[in-house]
Structure 1
Amino acid sequence: MAKPSSRRKKATSAAEINSKSLSNSANEDISVEENPTTATITVSAVEVEELTDEEQSDRLLLERKVERAFFEAGKALAELRDRRLYRSTHSTFEDYCKDRFGFERRHPYRLIEAAGVVDNLIKMCPNWTQNQIEDDPATVHSDQLQILPTSEGQVRPMTKLEPQQQQEVWLKAVKLAGGKVPTGKIVKDVVQRIMERTQVPNTYQVGEVCQILTKDNPELRGKRGCWGIVARVNDFSCTVKSWDGEYTIALQHLKSYDYLPAECQQMREICDRVNRVYSSELEESVQKFLESLGKLNRAYLTGLEEKVLSLLEAEIAN
């Protein structure tokens, strides 16, 4: 009986020896891998090629063109709209911009408004910043250039401010950005601070289009999803003109659609037209159609809606 026991001891002993050997080998490998002092790092020096004076001038010129791209687009769009240079192919400016440039309805107006803000900001610097950069960029040093917006998104929060406030906001935003072009969020934060500083409880403007919110207000039952146009601005409420009359509504029950001026004008025209027709005693089905127009979430009528509304207007005119 002792012999089998002896074999097991020998086998166990050999296994232990092999296990210890493997363990030591593994430990040795780990210690080598975990010891960074034994590693050799080779660093290759990369020579940075300096730009020539001509290349530096070209870079400056191209950078300014990129920065001013949205500004130039806004200026061009304004002229196309004001001179109605689209009239030979399109009946409306919006349709022209969509077909020609792929712009959605609000985008060209945003670019036009943004260009107006940039025009105002340019007035803060000497005249040479407007022309000399393009005429002879080599004579202008980078630290002399006025810091101007490089995208429409940086300008959008300022479009409803007065010109002096726009300049104040931009200067503060540039300072907060460490002397660089600020992001749209930084600009928006500065605008919010100025609004709080002026302590104006009601920031809505006459003519602005708002959505009526009915939550927790039984008096607005049936107006859910309807739009209204601000007719009078009160301290903590607005009197809005809807498709079926006027209502005085608290600020917490209003939400601006943030429409552009041209879109607000379109909504005022739609409101007047629907209101005139709705005041007439028409069939219930017709009234339902007019109700649906009173809940539009866009600043225009479709072709079919325009035809039906025009037909109703002609009907009550007879």
Structure 2
Amino acid sequence: MEYEYTTFQAQKISSAQSRDNTSPDNFAQKDISKEENPATATITVNAVEIPELTEQEQSDRLFLKRKVERAFFEAGKALMELRDRRLYRSTHATFEEYCKDRFGYNRSRSYQLIDAAIVVDNLQKCPQFVDILPTAEGQVRPLTKLEPQEQQEAWPTAVEETGGKVPTGRIVKDVVQRIMERTQVPNSYQIGEVCQILAKDNPELRGKGGCWCIVVAVHDFSCTVRIWDGELTAGLKHLKSFDYLPVECQQMQEICDGVPQERS
């Protein structure tokens, strides 16, 4: 009898649960995905009103936006001051070693940022100042090949060609190339001519400014020259002839030829 009572009780509980499943609350929780077509189901989305920016918020946004855009410029200025004041000297022997250790910048990247800061400073002094300034170092890099007054011409031209927006590095490069082609003069140097290297505005020639060299190949707008430790290619504006006589150039050539023999 105890077993029968237990079975009856279980059936009663099961029946009660079955009735409960048809209650309004359970019906609301019931999975209806099999009864309704998902494609025709109605989804209610509550609209959220986004408040307009206040004048102060708009001012803050503009300030922060310009701060982000000028990050490369500020980095270049800071690197230049670290280098010029030799503030690295207590921990590192050279500026290049300091940048590599502290910032992960190789020599080329450090000087790219420094050169970019110099260009942006120059653009800010432009008589025909434009509100749109470079926002990335890559946009400035082509301008480093130009003289300061040419930079002030090239950047507004690139901005105009972009419809008043910040131009890409490619557009700036195209403008710079056109200016360089316009201002280039025929190469009058001759093989064997003795020249002085002018390193101004050319990071690749740093450490070689003022050194003498001998022209070994003449190109349209550059020369390949030989110096004490090898050969390099320099643009015409980075060379200055000593105007030696042919016999003097020959003597310098003999001296240059003898340098490797003395080192070997």
Tell whether the structures are fold-level matches, with TM greater than 0.5: yes
1:279 aligns with 2:245: no
Match of 2:172 among 184, 187, 190: 187
The Cα of 1:47 is off from its aligned counterpart by 5.2
* Aligned-partner Cα distance in 1 for 2:257–2:66: 50
What amino acid maps onto 2:153 in structure 1? E
8 A contact 1:74–1:111 mirrored in 2: yes
| CA–CA separation in structure 2 for the residues paired with 1:277 and 1:230 | 13
Residue type of the partner of 2:261? S
Give distance in 1, aligned partners of 2:175 and 2:223.
Answer: 26
**Inter-partner Cα distance in structure 1 for 2:48 and 2:230:** 73
SS of corresponding position for 2:145: coil
Tell me the residue number matched to 1:98.
100
2:223–2:234 contact (8 Å) kept in structure 1? no
Q: Deviations over 1:162-204 (max 9, x none)?
A: 11100100000000111011110000000011112224355x9
Alignment of 1:58-73 (within 5 A): 58-73=60-75
Quick one: distance in 1 between partners of 2:154 and 2:171? Answer: 10
- Cα distance between partner residues in 1 of 2:60 and 2:176: 35
Q: Which has the larger radius of gyration?
A: 2
Over 3 Å counting, the alpha-carbon distance change for 1:199 and 1:277 in structure 2 is closer
Q: Kindly state the Cα deviation for residue 241 of structure 1 after the two structures are TM-superposed.
A: 1.4
Structure 2 residue 152 is the aligned partner of structure 1 residue 154: no
Structure 2 residue matching 1:106: 3-state secondary structure: helix
Deviates more, 1:88-97 or 1:45-54: 45-54
User: What secondary structure, in the 3-state scheme, does the structure 2 residue paired with 1:279 have?
Assistant: helix
Distance 1:184 1:66 in 2: 18
**Aligned 8 A contact 2:75 2:113 in 1:** yes
With over 3 angstroms needed to count, the CA separation of the structure-2 counterparts of 1:53 and 1:96, relative to structure 1, is: same
Structure 2: how far apart are the matches of 1:71 and 1:155? 10
Name 1:53's counterpart in structure 2: 55
Alignment of 1:1-318 (within 5 A): 49-124=51-126, 146-201=131-186, 206=198, 236=220, 238=223, 240-243=225-228, 278-280=260-262, 287=264
Could you say if the C-alpha distance between residues 45 and 70 of structure 1 is closer, same or farther in structure 2, counting changes exceeding 3 Å?
same
Contact 1:245 1:275 in 2 (8 A): no
The total of aligned residue pairs comes to: 185
Alignment-mate amino acid for residue 157 of structure 1: P
Task: In structure 1, list runs of 5 or more residues that go unmatched.
Answer: 1-39, 130-144, 211-228, 247-253, 258-273, 288-318
Conserved? CA contact 1:120–1:167, under 8 Å: yes
Distance, in Å, in 1 between the alignment partners of 2:230 and 2:109 is: 31
Amino acid at match of 1:75: K
Question: RMSD across aligned C-alpha pairs, in angstroms?
Answer: 3.8
CA 201–83 in structure 1, closer or farther in 2 if over 3 Å, else same: same
Percent identity between matched residues is 66
Cα deviation for residue 50 of structure 1 reads 1.7
